[in-house]
Structure 1
Amino acid sequence: MVTLSVSMIRQARCTTLRRLQPFARGYATPAGAELKVSNQFLSINTRSLNRATQPNTSFKSVTHYDDNAPQSTLDMIHAHTSYLLNTYARPSILFTHGKGCKLFTTSPSSTSSSGVQEYLDFTAGIAVNALGHGDEQIAEIMKDQQSKLTHASNVYWNEYAGELAKLLVENTRKQGGLGLKSDSAPGTGAKVFFSNSGTEANEGALKFVRKYAKEVNPSMASTKTAIVCFTNAFHGRSMGALSVTPNPKYQEPFAPLIPNVRVGELNQHEGLEELIDENVCGVIIEPIQGEGGLNEGTRDWMIKLAKRAREVGAILIYDEIQCGLFRTGKMWAHSGFPLEAQPDIVTMAKPLANGFPIGAIMVRDHVAEKISVGSHGTTFGGQPLATRVGAHVVSRLSAPEFLSRMNDTAAHLDTLLERLPKLFPNIIPAPVRGRGFMRGIPFAHADAPAELVKRARQRGVLLLTAGKDAVRLVPSLTVTKEECDHAIGVIESCLVTMEEDGFGK
């Protein structure tokens, strides 16, 4: 077998084939052209050649029209707009049910015997449904707990909040994270506070760092209040979380925000000491940015960041709301970081109860000691229903056989994604970003990500944009290799049509 570059093979195919069908990406040959290549080229297995060097064009046809909803659905959407605040730009698609990585609409489809449109969901509800849609075990647990006790308030104890907290702390100790030592006594090292969302978790974490600074440095209570965040970050849209989400589109309509927030550049070493000085009480960062484009902090920079935070007594928060809880193949995106790069606080939410609202703040003991009765509170956070579902989800996600299967599938997805920059170098100028099932396809043109999301949706695959230049793939962690093949096949077909329409020129 001969190893050839993509450009060599394209040239060979364009100059050696007789009057065959035009090459899928536009490389046709002149009529009557004769074979002019060596036996070395002719000995290559054509089928393997096609798989390795040509994009999948099987899904070029549009099958799922955005405007194909039945009149009853359109009428419902129109009626709902009279009562719902219009804060989302949505196509006329209404999902009614799902199973695994599939979602189904009310729209008729000629490709489905059931008369509805089926979509392969590579968004997992924005990285939420780790165990997929319509999970029967979760449905049974929710039914059972709902019939017993849903809510009784945090004035009292319940059975499952402590159980979920223990699972989070002890699995973190076992699998790596938060600097917890594997040989320390159970019940030491970290404590958990439950909220209802990722935004609430980050709000609580920001409060905790302010509280800690005032308790530890009473003489600097009025000056040690600065919080550092980083460009392209997304930490939520309530006022505190929004203040550390430095995107003008999100911030400007609500200014002025909370004061004394400093914005640094991700992975920029120069000026880090000046950015994080003695007046900084907290630093918040996503180890892998989700909404911001799947940019990742380099290991040496994260080490330097953490060291600098500790030098000035600032608490380091890792926002793992999207990249945490096994999405990257390990429990936390920072699980493999050295001890000197470990955080003091980790925030989480999205997959924690597979779609049932819950968030959490996991805090190292030295911070937890400064958080006293009355420091924070919540009406619904930590309720029995949410925490029982969360305990079930964490138990399943952390099972060795689940992780082994998931990482095997993620490795398969990685081999598929490696092809894209080689097949479409003018559209995708750099390698795909991220790890595990949190991947970002970077584009050379700002309008390309939204266009790919639209074209993929019209062919039955749901994707997300991320930041200014990327398309995000965050499927359920139960996704199969066959579903990965299908999704990437659709993506390749869409990129072929985009190239034909002038993208990349």
Structure 2
Amino acid sequence: MYDESMLIEELFETYSKEKRVPVAGVIVEPIQAEGGDNHGSNYFFQKLQQITKKNEAALLIDEVQTGGGPTGKMWCHEHFELESPPHIVTFSKKMQLGGYYHLEEMKPKQAYRVFNTWMGDPSKLLLLEAVVDVIFKDNLLDLVTRVGDYTLAELRKMENEFSGTMNSSRGKGTFIAFNCATSELRDATIKKLLKRGIQAGGCGDCAVRLRPALTFTEHHANIFLDNLRSVLKG
């Protein structure tokens, strides 16, 4: 049985033996966002980590979109039940500033090997500290998980109602997407929702994606779902 992890092993082999350029590391999103909110399985990410370890390559997980709680965990890769943490994790957006954290072994031996003009923004760290305090004080990760499960279940019911129009509802937490039958229908759906005061995004060829705040509740979900149903009815 062939799976995507076999393709990755083949790429490592090609670069190492044929091109004589060993792979230094792999950069991967836990959910391929701009490409269409495509999800890899836990098995895929577990195999990916095993392959990078076997080839002494670093595993960098790009959590710029998924970090900060929208999948119901602070970091989306926590869903994957990895044997050990990734070598490097990058973040931004909900985390108030762009940055990364890493294993001790990835720390440069020389000072200022990773350097830029700004060297971070301490004021953003104060904002982030306040945000993280609220996330845990108000149990927002639990809220995201509960409301995400509810919204996804309702979207899947809607697929039965509009089987020729929408399909493939998917997500973790409130990091949710579904596909429209065509790119044109996707674009029209987003525009009609916007006229109703609801901002949804597009990604990939035909996906509509949701990126609500961590305070998104069932009440807000129902407003979205009711308006989406009305738009799809035409």
Alignment correspondent of 1:281:
24
Alignment correspondent of 1:293:
36
Alignment correspondent of 1:457:
194
- The residue correspondences of 1:256-405 to structure 2 (distance < 5 A) are 268-277=4-13, 278=16, 279-340=22-83, 342-353=85-96, 358-368=97-107, 370-399=108-137, 401-405=139-143
Deviation at 1:399, TM superposition (A): 3.3
1:417–1:372: structure 2 CA closer, same or farther, 3 Å change rule?
farther
> How far does the alpha carbon of each residue in 1:336-386 deviate from its partner, in whole angstroms, 9 at most, with x for none?
323337411111101012xxxx11111111111x35212121333422211
Q: Which amino acid aligns with 1:361?
A: Y
Q: Which amino acid aligns with 1:464?
A: G
Q: Which of 178, 182, 185 is the equivalent residue of 1:441?
A: 178
> How far does the alpha carbon of each residue in 1:62-120 deviate from its partner, in whole angstroms, 9 at most, with x for none?
xxxxxxxxxxxxxxxxxxxxxxxxxxxxxxxxxxxxxxxxxxxxxxxxxxxxxxxxxxx
Aligned residues: 225
- The residue correspondences of 1:63-462 to structure 2 (distance < 5 A) are 268-277=4-13, 278=16, 279-340=22-83, 342-353=85-96, 358-368=97-107, 370-399=108-137, 401-430=139-168, 432-462=169-199
8 Å CA contact 1:346–1:363 kept in 2: the answer is yes
SS in 2 for 1:326: coil
Greater length-normalized contact order (CA 8 Å, ≥ 6 residues apart): 1
TM-score, length-scaled by structure 2 = 0.89
Structure (1/2) with the larger strand percentage: 2
Q: Larger C-alpha radius of gyration, 1 or 2?
A: 1
Q: Please list every run of 5 or more consecutive structure 2 residues that lacks an aligned counterpart in the other structure.
A: 17-21
> How far does the alpha carbon of each residue in 1:408-430 deviate from its partner, in whole angstroms, 9 at most, with x for none?
32233223222221111111133
CA distance in 2, matches of 1:486, 1:380: 42
8 Å CA contact 1:463–1:473 kept in 2: the answer is yes
Structure (1/2) with the larger helix percentage: 2
8 Å CA contact 1:269–1:301 kept in 2: the answer is yes
CA distance in 1, matches of 2:164, 2:109: 53
CA distance in 1, matches of 2:104, 2:120: 20
CA distance in 1, matches of 2:84, 2:104: 17
SS in 2 for 1:434: strand
Deviation at 1:401, TM superposition (A): 2.7
CA distance in 1, matches of 2:175, 2:47: 25
SS in 2 for 1:336: helix
TM-score, length-scaled by structure 1 = 0.43
1:429–1:479: structure 2 CA closer, same or farther, 3 Å change rule?
closer
Deviation at 1:400, TM superposition (A): 6.1
8 Å CA contact 1:320–1:348 kept in 2: the answer is yes
- The residue correspondences of 1:22-101 to structure 2 (distance < 5 A) are none
Deviation at 1:303, TM superposition (A): 1.4
Q: Which amino acid aligns with 1:419?
A: K
8 Å CA contact 1:288–1:434 kept in 2: the answer is no
1:405–1:299: structure 2 CA closer, same or farther, 3 Å change rule?
closer
User: Are 1:469 and 2:212 counterparts?
Assistant: no
CA distance in 1, matches of 2:36, 2:106: 31
298-307 or 395-404, which moves further after superposition? 395-404
> How far does the alpha carbon of each residue in 1:265-285 deviate from its partner, in whole angstroms, 9 at most, with x for none?
xx6233321212440001000
1:474–1:421: structure 2 CA closer, same or farther, 3 Å change rule?
same
CA distance in 1, matches of 2:76, 2:113: 29
